[in-house]
């Protein structure tokens, strides 16, 4: 049996031996790589206030710098997903890891806004190429009955490394006099090591094997534009737009809100921001894992409502660091869990095997361009001209849109789809 090949019968009742050793080896490496993506993307959060003072950046400039990476990420994801479906995940994944690892160190040499925008955009292009291919490689390496949980594990590494550990580590470096410019270089070497290990371990399954991971069970060739023929694809795009609008707006502008409006010290601000990582890490595993059992659709709906409630509470909260940490933990638990659920299993399962990376790339790409790219720019404009406290309105609008749209998606979780099929067969009998 080929490594990563699906069982010959249903995903729930196969007697064929699954290659669990390869499954966990591949997923561990894919998780580490995505962890370094998180470090590249989010370690800049606690550095932004220091950067702003040294490079004379205002709120609008911070929004543009943050948005540049997301815009480039989105454009890259949109197009590179199709290339990954055509040439294989490995040929996209390995070079992209090497490139973004090298570029990460270059961020520290920027001397102004335009230099930062250019470097962050290049990082976004390489990370945007890796992300959809990495998600689908995780799906293909997973036993179908646990692919939601495995995607959660792989996606978990991004907030754990990038949102939780990196800000704490960067904060410690800054506290002992380490200049912020040197912090960016720390991810380069480990990223390249993971890329080399990935080149040795990762394998591309045949389309007939990958079809077991799709609700369509279709392994036939398809054109890139065929991805839009499947109902969930445009709905998933709207969902991820809403989830990203909430999370990225906070990720880019909340540090300045905490220090400028709530008057928290740098140490208190970094403590509160660490909730981003811890909440997102747990949510990224829990929500997709729960959706393996109760379904993708109800998980998205309930998670969206919970996220909205905690955003409203965060908006009304005072300046107590412990309260802010707890509320931000809850917000990111649901927001990052919803993002992982939508761009992961919901996107990949909704289309044929030969379109899985295209679907994931399109969903992630459009979401990043508008939800992760343009929304922070709008947020920066709102913060500059109407007050930074109004950034919460952007988050609320995005979440309401996601909640409403989640009611219309088609269920794709293997357990739920199999149960629906059995129920239909019994009804016909």
Pairwise CA distance, residues 289 & 330, whole Å: 17
Residue linked to tokens 């790219």: 373
Average pLDDT, the chain: 84
pLDDT computed for residue 210 by the predictor: 58
Q: Which residues contact 245 (CB under 8 A, 6 or more apart)?
A: 371, 375, 394, 395, 397, 398, 399
Round to whole Å and give the CA distance between 3 and 421: 28
Q: What is the DSSP string of 114-142?
A: HHHHHHHHHHHHHHHHHHHHHHHHHHHHS
Percent of the chain whose pLDDT exceeds 90: 32
What pLDDT band is residue 216 in, cutting at 50, 70 and 90?
A: low
User: Can you tell me the distance from the alpha carbon of 369 to that of 113, in angstroms, rounded to the nearest whole number?
Assistant: 20
Question: Please, which pLDDT band fits residue 9 given cuts at 50, 70 and 90?
Answer: very low
- Express each pLDDT in 306-336 by its tens digit: 999 999 999 999 899 999 999 999 999 999 9
111: CB partners within 8 A, 6+ apart: 55
Exposure string over 264-292, b if 16+ CB within 10 A, otherwise e = bebebbbbbbbbbbbbbbbbbbbbbbbbb
Residue-wise DSSP of 172-225: HHHHTT--HHHHGGGGHHHHHHHHHHHHHH-----HHHHGGGSTT---S---GG
For 386-423, how does the pLDDT look when each residue is reduced to its tens digit (9 = 90+)? Answer: 888 888 999 999 999 999 999 999 999 888 888 877 88
pTM over 0.85: no
Domains and their CATH numbers in the chain: 20-428 (1.20.1250.20)
Q: What percent of the chain has pLDDT over 70?
A: 92
Banded pLDDT at 212 (limits 50, 70, 90): low
CB-based contact 364:308 (threshold 8 Å): no
What is the predicted pLDDT for the residue at 119?
86
Other beta carbons less than 10 A from residue 407's beta carbon: 12
């Amino acid at each position: 049996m080929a490594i990563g090949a699906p069982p010959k019968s249903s995903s729930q009742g196969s007697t064929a031996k699954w290659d669990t050793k390869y499954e966990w080896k591949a997923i561990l490496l894919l998780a580490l790589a995505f962890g370094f993506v998180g470090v590249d993307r989010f370690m800049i959060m606690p550095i932004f206030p220091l950067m702003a003072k040294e490079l004379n950046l205002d709120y609008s400039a911070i929004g543009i710098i943050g948005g540049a990476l997301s815009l480039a990420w989105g454009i890259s994801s949109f197009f590179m997903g199709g290339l990954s479906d055509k040439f294989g995940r490995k040929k996209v994944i390995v070079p992209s890891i090497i490139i973004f690892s090298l570029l990460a160190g270059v961020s520290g040499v920027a001397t102004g806004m335009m230099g930062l925008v250019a470097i962050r955009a290049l990082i976004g292009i390489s990370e945007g190429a890796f992300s959809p291919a990495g998600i689908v490689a995780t799906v293909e390496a997973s036993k179908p009955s646990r692919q939601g949980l495995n995607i959660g594990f792989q996606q978990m590494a991004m907030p754990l490394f990038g949102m939780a550990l990196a800000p704490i580590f960067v904060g410690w470096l800054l506290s002992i006099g380490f200049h912020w410019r040197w912090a960016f270089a720390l991810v380069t070497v480990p990223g390249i090591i993971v890329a080399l290990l990935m080149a040795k371990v990762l394998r591309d399954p045949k389309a007939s094997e990958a079809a077991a991971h799709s609700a369509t069970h279709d392994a036939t060739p398809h054109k890139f534009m065929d991805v839009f023929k499947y109902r969930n694809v445009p709905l998933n795009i709207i969902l991820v737009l809403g989830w990203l609008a909430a999370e990225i707006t906070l990720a880019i502008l909340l540090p300045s809100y905490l220090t400028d409006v709530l008057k928290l010290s740098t140490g208190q601000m970094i403590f509160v921001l660490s909730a981003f990582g811890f909440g997102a890490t747990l949510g990224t595993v829990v929500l997709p894992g729960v959706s393996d059992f109760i379904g993708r659709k109800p998980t998205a709906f309930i998670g969206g409502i919970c996220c909205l409630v905690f955003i409203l509470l965060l908006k009304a909260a005072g300046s107590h660091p412990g309260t802010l940490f707890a509320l931000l933990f809850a917000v990111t638990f649901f927001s990052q869990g919803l993002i992982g659920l939508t761009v992961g299993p919901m996107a990949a399962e909704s289309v044929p095997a030969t379109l899985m990376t295209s679907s994931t790339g399109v969903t992630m790409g459009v979401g990043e361009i508008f939800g992760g790219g343009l929304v922070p720019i709008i947020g920066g404009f709102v913060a500059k001209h109407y007050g930074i406290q109004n950034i919460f309105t952007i988050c609320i609008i995005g979440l309401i849109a996601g909640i409403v749209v989640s009611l219309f998606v088609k269920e794709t979780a293997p357990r739920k789809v199999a149960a629906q099929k059995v129920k239909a067969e019994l009804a016909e009998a």
